[in-house]
Structure 1
C-alpha cells in the first residue's frame, strides 16, 4: 500500500519554510520563481534547502519556475522564436540540478503546462512534430539530470496523462514522472475510471505525486475531499516507492492549513481501505 506521507510545499521565504517545518513533513517541495535565479536568490534557496535538510526531511523536490518575464516555461519553446525563454529554461534547470546533486534531492520540470501561447507551436508543422522536439528536450534533461529529474503533466494537448496511447508511449520511453492527479482529472474532464486506468499504466514510472482535488473542469486546486476525485479507488494504484506532496491553494502562504486538512483526509481514506 502507498505510504501516506506528509508532503508540504512552500517557497524559500524563511517564514514559509518555518511554518511548514513545525509539522515535521516527510517530503518538502520548493516552488521557485524567476527571482530565485539571481546570485542572491540562489543563495537564499540553497540556505532554505540546507535548513529543511538539517531538520530531518528525507525527500526534497525543487519545482522549476512557472514563468519568465510573464511567459510560461514550456519545454517546447524553440530558439527560432523564443531564444531568451529557452536560455532561461536551460539555465534555471541546470542551477536546480546542481543544487539537487549537492543536496541529494530532485528537480521537477513541467513537460508542458497549459500551452496557452499559440506562438510556441509556430516553429512546427504539426503537434506530432512539436512533441518529437519536446521529447528531445526531455531526453537532454534526463541525460544531464540522471536520477535527479522528473517531468510533470499539465493540461495541454502536448503533454498530459490520461490518453491511453500517450500513457503507453511514456511508459515505454521510461521517463521518471511526476503525476499531478488533478491535472490528469481535468484533462480527462472528470472521468474517474480513465484516471484510474492512467494511474495504473504509468505506475512504475511515477516517482512523485501532486495530490490535489478538482471538480474536473478547470484548474481549481482544491483541498482533498472537496472535489470529485475518487481517492479511495485511486490510492491503491499509486506506486508505493514514490513520494508525494499536497499541492493545494492556500488562503495564507504562511499557514499550510489546507495541505494539513488534505493529509488528514487521505489518512482517513487509507485507514478505511
Structure 2
C-alpha cells in the first residue's frame, strides 16, 4: 500500500501552482458560490483540465455556503428558497461536469453548525433524516459512480453509530469518510473510529485524513491530535483516494498538508507498509 499525496485547494491560480508543483496523486477542489457563475464554471473547467495534466484523480467538493448559509442537503424550499435552489443548481452543475470530464463529486450528508436550524423546519428528527435519505437516493440515481457522500459531526449523518452505518451499507452509497468528523462525533473514542472505518470500508471511495483532539472541529495536521494513525492506516480501503484536509496558515502554501503526508509515510514505514 503506497501512501498517496492528496492535496486540497481552490481554482485560484496561485493555489493551483503551489499544489501542482508537488505533483499530487489526488486533488480536491474546494469550491465556493463564485465558482457557479458563468465565468466561475468556465474557470473551474479550465482548472480541472490543468490538474488532469498531473493526475486523473480529482474530486469536486460542493460549495459549503451560499450567502452565509451552509448548504445543508435537507434544506426545505419553503423555508429557504434561495438556498434550496442554489444547492440543487450547483449540484446539477457539478454532476454534469463530472460526467463530461471524468471526475468525482463530493456532497455532504450534513454539516454541523446549522444542521439543527434546518432540522427545526421539520416535524421531528426522524422526518428530517428520512428526507435526507430520499435526497441521497436521488443523487445516487443521478450521479451513479461519480457522486459520494461525506459524514458530519452531527447525528443526522454521523458514522459514529453502527446501526446508522448499516443503513448506509444497505443503500449502497459511495462514501467519503472524514476521520476527524467521526472521531469528534464519537467524543474522541478511538475504538468507535476504528469500528466505523472497518464497517464502512467496502463502500468508502475517498477519505479526508485529518487529526483532531475529538472535541471540536480543529482540523489538525496528522500527528498533532489524538487519532491513532497506526490503527487507522490498515483500516483504510486501499482502493480509495484521500487528501489531507488540514487547516492552513497560508491558503497559498500547502505546507501542513505536505507535513501530514510525510507523517503518514513515517507511520507506514514504522509498520512495514510499503
Q: TM-score, normalised by structure 2?
A: 0.97
Aligned-partner Cα distance in 1 for 2:219–2:208: 10
- Mean Cα deviation higher: 161-170 or 25-34: 161-170
Q: Flag as ranges the 4+ runs of structure 1 deviating above 4 A.
A: none
Alignment length (residue pairs): 271
1:22 correspondence with 2:24: no
Aligned-partner Cα distance in 2 for 1:61–1:161: 21
Q: Return the offset for 1:265.
A: 0.4
Report what 2:82 is aligned to.
Answer: 84
Task: Provide, for residues 4-31 of structure 1, a one-character-per-residue CA deviation record: whole Å limited to 9, x for no partner.
Answer: 1000000000010010000010000000
1:58 correspondence with 2:56: yes
Report what 1:193 is aligned to.
Answer: 191
Q: Return the offset for 1:120.
A: 1.1
Mapping 1:1-273, distance limit 5 Å = 1=1, 3-54=2-53, 56-116=54-114, 118-273=116-271
Aligned-partner Cα distance in 1 for 2:3–2:130: 36
Give the unaligned 5+ runs of structure 1.
Answer: none
8 Å CA contact 2:177, 2:208 repeated in 1: yes
Aligned-partner Cα distance in 1 for 2:209–2:232: 11
8 Å CA contact 1:131, 1:158 repeated in 2: yes
- Corresponding residue SS for 2:232: helix
Q: TM-score, normalised by structure 1?
A: 0.97
Task: Provide, for residues 88-108 of structure 1, a one-character-per-residue CA deviation record: whole Å limited to 9, x for no partner.
Answer: 111001111111112111000
Aligned-partner Cα distance in 2 for 1:176–1:168: 13
